[in-house]
Amino acid sequence: MSQTRSVYEFNSAIVRQPSTSVVNGLRTDDRGGPTYEGVKAEHDAYIAAMRNAGVEVTVLPALESFPDSIFVEDPALVFTGGAILLRPGTPSRVNETAEIAPTLREMFETVLELPAPGQADGGDIMYTPKGVLIGLSARTDKMGAEALVSCIEKLGGKAQVAETPKGVLHFKTASSLLDNRTVISTAALADAAVFEGFRKIVVPQGEEPAANVLRVNDVVFASAHYPRTLEMLDREGYKVVPLKTAEIEKIDAGLSCMSLRWYRNGR
């Protein structure tokens, strides 16, 4: 897994089309339901932005039986050297792993499986130059996190477990990597021990969902709905691609969870 390129340098990604059942996606609080058309439009724009950033995108078909299956990052992890099938922490999503497994086995020579009974969601896992950070949450338990550390080590990488603030769904709901030495986060997570040594940019109060950004090659995908954060990123010199997230946010989602991204050698 060791590499000279940045952890946000990608040339390959997997996404899955939203199903019409996406309107029944999981949510921790009711902010009104999304529309299928709205989610589809946001997802289409996301795919276009990914391709514009130089990424070859594989688009998987919709799964009507799994309303949240558009969020392909939760049931798996991918690296240049292999993939890991996870065990999502929500019962309705556990079988999504079996749905994506054939695609990963076709694309990767090495595919590991997180052993039962531990649970881990990809939304709690952040790639950094110092190693992979695994946030404990309601959907990633200690047993799952520790088993995942072992899986990552088998692929030649390193990982450590972190705490996620109370009331935050996923570790990456509240933090994201901006570059090799900088993270953006909410105030609640800015002082986390795992971010020691990183430069930290804190999102403005009231724009906490904006902490979920996605660095892809030379650009940063960020939600178009948080103008102060967009201005801050622009001032910091990042090339920002604003993307609409109003519909996916109604089902607890952000930009990072809609794709599996990696650098494929010899593409």
Domains of the chain: 12-262 (3.75.10.10)
User: According to the annotation, is 152 in a ligand binding site?
Assistant: no
Query: What pLDDT does residue 267 have?
Result: 67
pLDDT per residue, tens digit, the chain (267 aa), is 445 789 999 999 999 999 999 999 998 777 788 999 999 999 999 999 999 999 999 999 999 999 999 999 999 999 999 999 999 989 999 999 999 999 999 999 999 999 999 999 999 999 999 999 999 988 999 999 999 999 999 999 999 998 877 777 679 989 999 999 999 999 989 988 889 999 999 999 999 999 999 999 999 999 999 999 999 999 999 999 999 999 999 998 999 999 999 999 986
Q: What angle do CA 154, 80, 90 make, to 5 degrees?
A: 70
Q: Give the active site residues.
A: 170, 257
In single-letter form, the type of residue at position 158 comes to K
Do the annotations mark residue 199 as ligand-binding?
no
How far is it, in rounded angstroms, from Cα 145 to Cα 58? 28
Q: Which residues are 77's β-sheet partners?
A: 84
Neighbours of 229 (CB within 10 A): 24
Task: Consult the annotation and say whether 93 binds a ligand.
Answer: yes
Instruction: Classify 247 as helix, strand or coil.
Output: helix
181 is in an annotated binding site: no
pTM: 0.95
The reply to whether 56 sits in an annotated binding site is: no
Give me the pLDDT at residue 1, please: 44
Pairing of strands 12-16, 260-262: antiparallel
Burial class (CB in 10 A: 0-12, 13-18, 19+), 208: buried
Give the pLDDT score at 2.
Answer: 42
Strand order across the 76-79 sheet:
76-79, 82-85, 111-113
The pLDDT value recorded for residue 168 is: 72
